[in-house]
Chains A and B, each alone.
Chain A
């Protein structure tokens, strides 16, 4: 059974640019969540999508956005990148209909220079 796949694994961008990260959840999982992980703040929730609808959103500026497609694949976008956006971005999937533990992908390491 394939796990959660995130692409790309590594990314280097310049301040002011925008970036799109991709996540393919486990087959059959309808909930996809995104988290930002930094050494100082730990794991912080960005947003969650369920059946193409944003179900929950964390305390991040509007530069961070996401979407989910009909096949449950999800993308997140960060516009006007800042140095502080450098982080490991993790995607997690769940069936979405019970208190099932999330399965995380390996993440995308974003470096903003």
Chain B
């Protein structure tokens, strides 16, 4: 069965304190791995898509990496506005079309 597990469930950082969020996945084959950010009361906002092991993508203070079993979202020198829930999702080969399997997310709080 295709599964996505994110850790930690919650993370509290001080402004400027870098850290990483983890997304472990078990799929029969991977079409793509997606990272989203979700603010309270809003829909998820697309951040990155990764397709193959070794791939990396960056956007401002965020950098996403991918291995054959997991993905990391590295946050460098975070600011309070980076506080949000970060969601990881996979599009397995077993899913026709565009169904995504989501993890339950990591709730990030960055304090000044």
Contact = CB atoms under 8 A, between A and B. Distances in A.
Interface residues of A, number: 27
Contacts of B58: none
A100 B89 CA distance: 13
B53 to A, nearest CB: 16
Given A48-B99, A50-B97, A56-B98, A99 B43 contact: no
B34 interface: yes
A99 B99 contact: no
A56 to B, nearest CB: 4
Interface string A70-88: 0000000000000000000
B17 interface: no
Given A42-B103, A42-B104, A43-B87, A102 B98 contact: yes
B8 interface: no
Contacts of A55: 96-98
Given A43-B87, A99-B32, A99-B51, A58 B99 contact: yes
A107 B87 contact: no
Interface of A: 4, 31, 33, 35, 41-45, 48, 50, 55-56, 58, 90, 92, 94, 96, 99-107
A101 B43 contact: no
B73 to A, nearest CB: 15
Contacts of A48: 97-99
Interface in B42-62: 42-46, 48-49, 51
Contacts of B99: 33, 45, 48, 56, 58
A34 to B, nearest CB: 10
A9 B104 CA distance: 23
B31 interface: yes
A5 to B, nearest CB: 11
Contacts of A103: 46
Given A102-B98, A104-B44, 12 more contacts: A31-B98, A33-B99, A41-B104, A42-B102, A42-B105, A45-B99, A55-B97, A56-B98, A58-B99, A90-B44, A99-B31, A101-B46
